[in-house]
Every structure is written in C-alpha cells, then in structure tokens.
C-alpha cells in the first residue's frame, strides 16, 4: 500500500502548520505519516493515495451515523439558509435542549451549549467551584477532559513519577501548563473506592467536586466496577461535593441517555459533545436547575461567539430526532454490531494464540494486548497492557484497509454493516496469524 501523496502533502504541511497537523493526537497515527484524506462517506474513508478504509476512528466518536449522513447535511443546509450565527436566540436551540433533557435521566435540569468538549468541561469546573465555594476537585488518572490547563494532568503520566497507589502526584501532560494549578487537582485511581475515601478524608471540606468519565473511554474503555459509582455518589452527597460525569464520549453513544442511563447512577452535572451533533461542533453542559442557575444569574461567566450557531444546532436537532424516531432499536443495533466485532476479534485472537483483548459496551470498545483478564484503571493498564503491540497491530490493520485509532478506542457507527464487521474480523485474523 502506498502513502506517497500523503507524504508529499505532509511535507508541504510542515512548512505552514506546526507539526503538519491540527491536533497533537493526529501525530501518532498508525500509518508511516499522518494521513491526508480526500473524502469520507458512511463507514468509509479515502486517503489522497486512493486507499479506501473501513473507518473505526469515526472522528474519535462524533460520527455516530457515519461520515456525512444525508439527513444531517439536509438539516444543516436548511438551518444555514437562515444565517449562521445570530449572537441571539432562536427557537431550534430550545427544541434541542428540550429533547436532550427528555433523553437524559437527570431530573429538573437545564443546559448550556458551547462548541467543544474542552470548553464545556471548563464551564463545569467553574460552576462546581462557584456553587460549592470549594476549589479542589478530584480527577482520575488516565481520564481525559480536554487539553485546558486545569485538567491536562495525569492522563498519561509515567508510572515512576506519578506517586504511590494511594497518593498520586498531579503530573502535567504538556509543557507550558501553569504548575500552580496542580494544588487544586487531586488525582485519584479509578475503580478504587479506598483511594477516593482517603482523599475526601485528607482534604475534608475542601473538595468541590469529582469529575470522571463514567466509562473510562480514554484508557482501555473500562467499565466501572459494580457498586463503585454508587459509592462515589454517596461520598459526594455526604461531603457536599458535586458529581460530574464527562459524557463527551458516552453521551448519545451508549444509550440515548448516555452512561447515566446505562449505569443508572445519576450525577449532578454532565458534559456532552461528540455524538450529539453527529460530526458538527457542539458541546452541552447539563445540570440540576439549582446548580445551573449560577450560570443563568450571571455569577458564572460563560460566553462563546459560536455557541448555539445554526449549523451545529440544526445538526443536533436532526440527530436527536433521528434517535427518537429509531427508538431503543438504534442502540440495540449499534451495540450488537460492536459486540459482533468484539466477539470476532476474540475468536481470531484465540485461534492465533495472541493475547488481544477487547473491552467496552459495544457501540465503542477498546482493543488491547494483555495477559491480565480485567484491567481496572490506568495503573493497571500501564503495568499490564502492551501499547507497542497495539500500535503494531493497528499499523498492520491499516495495510489491510482497516482504520483503527492510535489508542485502541474503536467506534461503531450506524452505517457500519455486518459485511464491514466480517471483513474487519478476517483482516485481524490475517494480521494475527503472522504476529
């Protein structure tokens, strides 16, 4: 397989775009160079060398209905025929909020819109501090909440410089981060109730909230252990701290009501982005009315020129209407396709005696290499998962025209077909036979 045109464009891009890419996460693609694409439609992508891939990156999650679905294009075209950005209100944003709140189990809630996941998490954290008057918050190792200073800590720290299992050090993931911020970020191991208990005891009365990916999408797609979220919620209630789910991956992907519907533990705040607008930039904070009033009354500043622009809101409106129309069958199918692929990969790994494992709810899941049966949190991942082996696998799969993400998170979209899944399993079989 040739990547010559991607190489030419990448070298040209290096002259004009820092690192030749527009997000650092695109630096680490499984291909020899960051690939350049010509078009994407449904479950397929075509690169500039004419290679066609079955895509499981799906924009890292947003393309719930595949690339460029017509119903979203039509809705966006219709919306933008009336203008792009008003810096004023329009009726469709109420419809989107109303429908989203019908899906999301949190009772008596309101929303605010923004454009990106990173941005909306910032609003959540500011709101936590404003509402509780407490400045420290708990963040879990290996959970990602965007690239802003106050959360870009301990997503992927080195084991030997990140402290003990009980007292983790907040390690910045980037240079240039204001290190003084770390004083208020308490890093915790996920799925470890003793660790969070310890932190609440140690910092009694100082912790305003807990932010987490309720399904740990950015490391291994790890599910919470039975009873864990319940205990965290009880702790938050007891300590008057706000529980915030970052549902930027899980929202509208694992169920219409996201992880809170699937896991049936309801937080006080939740952030959404990615799937809500099927590929258009839209983020949303949902929170209990009483907490959200702190934004509504002007105490917490929240702005954004692009907030509730017509294109993104029209896309979200179309997405939510489609989810409503399809009913639970939509998620049954999505999860079913994912489970088919997960089972197929498990089978071919077993046949080839390779320690490839899969984990997750179906509509998204991780592919990883480990001898350990269950990976529980980031430390467990770091100690027991061979990331280099995954990189080699993803690269070999790319040469079989299957596009996997650089971190193993695999996204199913509604236009993936059973045939796509079978082709992917056969490709994995071929790759693993020679592994």
Q: Does 60 bind ligand PMP (CB under 6 A)?
A: yes
- CB of 416: closest distance to ligand PMP in angstroms? 20
Q: Does 367 bind ligand PMP (CB under 6 A)?
A: no
- Considering the candidates 7, 134, 136, 274, report the single residue annotated as catalytic: 274
Which residue pairs, CB below 8 angstroms and at least 24 apart, start in 225-230? Answer: 225/191, 225/376, 228/191, 228/193, 229/263, 229/265, 230/265
- Considering the candidates 246, 268, 380, 420, report the single residue annotated as catalytic: 246
- CB of 280: closest distance to ligand PMP in angstroms? 12
Query: Helix, strand, or coil here: 400?
Result: coil
**Which residue number, 151 or 432, has a Cβ lying nearer to ligand PMP?**
151
Contact 277, 311 (CB under 8 A): no
* Binding-site size, ligand PMP (CB under 6 A): 15
* Known catalytic residue at 274: yes
Q: Does 57 bind ligand PMP (CB under 6 A)?
A: no
What phi and psi, each to the nearest 5 degrees, are found at residue 44?
-115, 155
Query: Helix, strand, or coil here: 251?
Result: strand
Query: Of residues 29, 239, 246, 268, which one binds ligand PMP by CB under 6 A?
Result: 246
Which residue, chain included where needed, has tokens 């066609």?
52
- CB of 146: closest distance to ligand PMP in angstroms? 4
DSSP class of 357: E
The structure tokens listed for 228 are 């864990």
Q: Does 121 bind ligand PMP (CB under 6 A)?
A: yes
**Which residue number, 133 or 303, has a Cβ lying nearer to ligand PMP?**
303
Query: Of residues 13, 249, 277, 394, which one binds ligand PMP by CB under 6 A?
Result: 249
What phi and psi, each to the nearest 5 degrees, are found at residue 78?
-65, -45
Distance CA 339, CA 412 (A): 10
| Backbone region of residue 252 per phi and psi (left: phi > 0; alpha: psi in -120 to 50; beta: other values) | left
Stretch that binds ligand PMP, among 140-148, 251-259, 393-401, 421-429 (CB under 6 A): 140-148
* Known catalytic residue at 144: yes
For residue 387, the surrounding DSSP H or E stretch is helix 387-398
Which residue, chain included where needed, has tokens 């696998």?
393
Q: Does 421 bind ligand PMP (CB under 6 A)?
A: no
What is the footprint of ligand PMP within residues 259-278 (CB under 6 A)? 273
Q: Does 200 bind ligand PMP (CB under 6 A)?
A: no
The three-state (H, E, C) secondary structure of 137-188, written as one string: EEEECCCCCCCCCCCCECCCCCHHHCECCCCECCCECCCCCCHHHHHHEEEE
* Known catalytic residue at 246: yes
Query: Of residues 6, 110, 116, 359, which one binds ligand PMP by CB under 6 A?
Result: 116
Q: Does 216 bind ligand PMP (CB under 6 A)?
A: no
Could you tell me which of 318, 350, 339, 328 has the C-alpha nearest to residue 412? 339
Active-site residue set: 144, 246, 274
> Residues interacting with ligand PMP, by CB under 6 A?
60, 116-118, 121, 144-146, 213, 217-218, 246, 248-249, 273
């Amino acid at each position: 397989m040739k990547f010559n045109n991607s190489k030419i464009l990448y070298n040209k891009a290096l002259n004009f775009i820092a690192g030749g890419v527009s997000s650092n996460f695109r630096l680490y693609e499984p291909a020899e160079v960051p690939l350049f694409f010509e078009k994407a439609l449904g479950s397929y992508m075509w690169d500039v060398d004419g290679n066609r891939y079955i895509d499981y990156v799906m924009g890292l999650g947003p393309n719930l209905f595949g690339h460029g679905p017509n119903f979203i294009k039509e809705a966006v075209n219709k919306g933008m025929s009336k203008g792009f950005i008003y810096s004023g209100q329009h009726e469709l944003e109420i419809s989107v909020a109303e429908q989203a709140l019908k899906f999301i189990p949190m009772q008596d809630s309101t929303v605010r819109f923004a454009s990106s996941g990173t941005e909306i998490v910032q609003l959540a954290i500011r709101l936590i501090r404003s509402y509780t008057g407490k400045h420290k918050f708990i963040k879990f190792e290996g959970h990602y909440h965007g690239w802003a200073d106050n959360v870009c800590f301990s997503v992927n720290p080195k084991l030997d410089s990140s402290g003990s299992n009980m007292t983790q050090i907040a390690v910045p993931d980037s240079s240039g981060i204001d290190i003084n911020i770390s004083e208020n970020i308490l890093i915790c191991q996920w799925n470890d109730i003793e660790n969070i208990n310890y932190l609440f005891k140690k910092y009694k009365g100082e912790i305003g909230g807990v932010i987490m990916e309720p399904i740990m999408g950015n490391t291994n797609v790890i599910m919470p252990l039975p009873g864990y979220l319940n205990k965290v919620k009880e702790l938050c209630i007891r300590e008057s701290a706000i529980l915030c789910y970052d549902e930027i991956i899980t929202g509208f992907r694992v169920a219409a009501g996201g992880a809170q519907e699937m896991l049936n533990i309801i937080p006080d705040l939740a952030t959404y982005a990615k799937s809500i607008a099927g590929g258009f930039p839209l983020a949303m904070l949902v929170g209990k009315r009483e907490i959200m009033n702190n934004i509504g009354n002007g105490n917490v500043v929240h702005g954004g020129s692009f907030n509730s622009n017509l294109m993104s809101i029209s896309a979200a409106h179309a997405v939510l209407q489609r989810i409503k129309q399809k009913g639970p069958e939509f998620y049954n199918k999505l999860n079913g396709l994912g489970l088919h692929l997960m089972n197929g990969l498990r089978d071919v790994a077993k046949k080839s005696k390779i320690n490839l494992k899969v984990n997750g709810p179906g509509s998204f899941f991780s592919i990883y290499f480990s001898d350990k049966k269950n990976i529980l949190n980031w430390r467990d991942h770091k100690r027991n998962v061979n990331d280099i082996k995954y990189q080699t696998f993803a690269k070999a799969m790319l040469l079989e025209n299957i596009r996997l993400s650089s971190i193993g998170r695999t996204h199913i979209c509604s236009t993936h077909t059973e045939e796509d899944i079978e082709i992917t399993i056969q490709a994995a079989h071929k790759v693993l036979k020679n592994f």
